[in-house]
């Protein structure tokens, strides 16, 4: 307050910073509570303690921070240990490309984070990872989506990042890199990468069926569009989805029409995880393998996620490079 009793601008800014930081800390605590069984009152005391710490720090704003750039890679996550190699491959290629810039990871699926927490592996949500990066003094962050299309997960990521981009004393710049299949250009490069990655043992009249995830989100249309572009290069490549359209029944009908008797099943997801193991290649009656089998089409699954291929990861990295160029 000044002498006249009016609050000064700096007081208001200071209060704003305090409120934002308190909000972030609540978020942070909420995240820990979800993953832990410690009694509630311990967390409430933590909130009070951290709140007062943040009040103390709120007073020390105003000086220009040193630039510190960072990368946050954001994937859905996987509970299948073998599928982790997709993420290791991305980490490897991103490390080679960006050298000294620190790379952090976050996983958008809370189900997977909880599942892995029970096995003792603590994975960060996007909020958690960004709070940590803020506290570590990062000023410029490129958040790269490792999703396949611009679906719900991606939209949520953008909203979260937007919330973080307006914090006083927070990041100076934070930007989201686009998912694999985003622009018309990506359609061309992804189509070519898929064609180049087709199973080498496949013979001419054998089909290849890609399994996309699928979503109620309007961007589900990307899958049918991708099939159109693929079939212009190779008429026996199909794209179905687990949770959207085209579904496997529609794909099966198309294959029966073309009198196909053998197919290769290939995940069109970054990891060959639970969906690939069960929905695609599993022994359940409604797995893709068995649905095709009943229609007289024998199939061979290829248990390899898209992020295991260099040419696919290169596309995500190109999007990350674009994001970095705006930092």
User: Most distant CA pair in the chain: distance in Å?
Assistant: 88
Among 230, 231, 35, 212, CA closest to 122? 35
Alpha helices in the chain (DSSP H): 9-35, 40-58, 84-98, 110-118, 126-135, 152-164, 184-196, 221-233, 248-257, 274, 288-294, 310-325
Cα gap 21→57, rounded to integer Å: 10
Do the beta carbons of residue 136 and residue 117 sit within 8 Å?
Answer: no
**Rounded-to-integer distance, Cα 310 and Cα 297, Å:** 31
Identified catalytic residue from 63, 147, 166, 213: 213
Answer yes or no: 140 catalytic.
Answer: no
What letters, b where the CB count within 10 A reaches 16 and e where it falls short, cover 279-297? bbbbeeeebbbbbbeeeeb
Q: Which of 226, 198, 204 is nearest to 213 (CA)?
A: 226
CA distance 129 to 121: 15
Q: Decide if 149 contacts 180 (C-beta within 8 A).
A: yes
Neighbour tally for 322: CB within 10 Å = 14
Residue 157, CA atoms < 13 Å, CB-side half-sphere = 30
Closest Cα to residue 178, out of 146, 134, 220? 146
> Distances from the Cα of 231 to the Cαs of 194, 204, 274, in angstroms?
11, 14, 27
Angle CA 319–325–327, to nearest 5: 110
**Which residues are designated catalytic?**
213
């Amino acid at each position: 307050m000044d002498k006249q009793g009016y609050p000064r601008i700096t007081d208001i800014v200071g209060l704003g910073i305090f409120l934002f930081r308190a909000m972030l800390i609540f978020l942070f605590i909420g995240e820990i509570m979800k993953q832990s069984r410690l009694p509630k009152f311990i967390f409430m005391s933590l909130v009070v303690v951290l709140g007062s710490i943040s009040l103390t720090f709120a007073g020390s704003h105003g000086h220009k921070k040193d630039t510190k750039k960072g990368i946050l890679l954001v994937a859905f996550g996987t509970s299948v240990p073998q599928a982790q190699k997709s993420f290791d491959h991305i980490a490897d290629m991103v490390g080679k490309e960006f050298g000294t810039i620190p790379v952090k990871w976050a996983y958008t699926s809370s189900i997977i984070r909880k599942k892995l927490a029970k096995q003792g592996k603590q994975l960060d949500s996007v909020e958690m990872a960004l709070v940590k990066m803020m506290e570590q003094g990062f000023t410029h962050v490129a958040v790269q989506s490792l999703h396949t299309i611009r679906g719900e997960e991606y939209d949520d990521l953008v909203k979260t990042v937007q919330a973080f981009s307006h914090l006083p004393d927070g990041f100076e710049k934070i930007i989201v890199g686009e998912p694999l299949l985003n622009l018309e250009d990506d359609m061309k490069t992804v189509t070519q990468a898929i064609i180049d990655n087709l199973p080498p043992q496949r013979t001419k009249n054998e089909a290849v069926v890609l399994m996309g995830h699928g979503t109620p989100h309007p961007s589900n249309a990307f899958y049918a569009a991708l099939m159109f572009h693929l079939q212009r290069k190779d008429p026996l490549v199909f794209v179905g989805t687990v949770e959207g359209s085209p579904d496997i029944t529609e794909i099966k009908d198309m294959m029966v029409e073309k009198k196909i008797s053998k197919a290769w099943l290939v995940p069109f997801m970054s990891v060959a995880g639970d969906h690939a193991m069960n929905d695609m290649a599993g022994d359940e009656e409604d797995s893709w393998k068995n649905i095709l089998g009943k229609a007289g089409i024998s199939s061979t699954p290829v248990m390899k996620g898209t992020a295991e291929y260099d040419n696919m990861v290169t596309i995500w990295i190109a999007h990350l490079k674009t994001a970095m160029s705006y930092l």
